[in-house]
Amino acid sequence: MKKLLASLAAFTALTAAASAADLPRRAAPPPVFTPVPVFTWTGAYFGINAGYAFDASSSNGSTFGVPFPYAVPGTAATFSQRNQEGFSGGGQVGYNYQFTPGSGVVVGIEADAQYLDFGRIRNNAFFIGALAPGYYVTDPRGLSSLDYFGTVRGRLGYAFDRVLFYGTGGFAYGSGSADRSFGGFAGNDSFRTGYAVGGGIEYALPTDSFLNFFRSSAVTLKVEGLYVNLDRGTRNQGAFVINAANNFPVVYSAVGRRDDEFAVIRAGLNYKFGSY
Note the pLDDT tens digit of each residue in 82-133: 567 889 999 999 999 999 988 999 999 999 999 998 766 555 677 888 889 9
pLDDT the model gives residue 181: 46
How many Cβ atoms are within 10 Å of 116's Cβ, its own excluded?
Answer: 21
Single out the residue of 88, 84, 106, 85 nearest to residue 97, CA to CA: 106
pLDDT category at 200 given cuts 50, 70, 90 is very high
Region 139-167: mean pLDDT is 88
Residue-averaged pLDDT of the chain: 79
Contacts of 29 (CB under 8 A, 6+ apart): none
pLDDT the model gives residue 206: 79
Q: Answer whether residue 79 shows pLDDT above 80.
A: no
Q: Answer whether residue 185 shows pLDDT above 50.
A: no
| Count of residues making up the chain | 276
pLDDT category at 18 given cuts 50, 70, 90 is low
Q: Answer whether residue 20 shows pLDDT above 70.
A: no
Facing residues of 165 across strands?
Answer: 158, 201
pLDDT the model gives residue 154: 98
pTM for this predicted structure: 0.72
pLDDT category at 179 given cuts 50, 70, 90 is very low
Distance separating alpha carbons of residues 255 and 236, to the nearest angstrom: 6
Between 89-98, 155-164, 186-195, 206-215, the lowest mean confidence (pLDDT) is in: 186-195
- Mean pLDDT: which of 187-196, 222-231, 247-256 is highest? 222-231
pLDDT the model gives residue 221: 96
Q: Domains of the chain: which residue ranges?
A: 39-273
Facing residues of 64 across strands?
Answer: 77
Q: Give φ, ψ of 14 to 5 degrees.
A: -65, -40
More confident residue, 55 or 79: 55
Q: Report which DSSP code applies to 59.
A: -
Reduced 3-state DSSP string for 218-237: EEEEEEEEEEEEEECCCCCC
| Structural element, H or E, at residue 110 | strand 103-116
Distance of CA 254 to the CA centre of its chain: 35
Say whether domain 39-273 belongs to CATH 2.40.160.
yes
| Structural element, H or E, at residue 269 | strand 259-273
Q: What share of the chain has pLDDT > 90, as a percent?
A: 38
pLDDT the model gives residue 184: 39
For residue 48, the SS3 value is strand
104 dihedral zone (left: phi>0; alpha: psi -120 to 50; beta) = left
CA angle centred on 14, ends 11 and 17, rounded to 5°: 150
Contacts of 142 (CB under 8 A, 6+ apart): 79, 81, 84, 122, 258, 260
For residue 123, the SS3 value is coil
- Mean pLDDT: which of 5-14, 147-156, 189-198, 256-265 is highest? 147-156
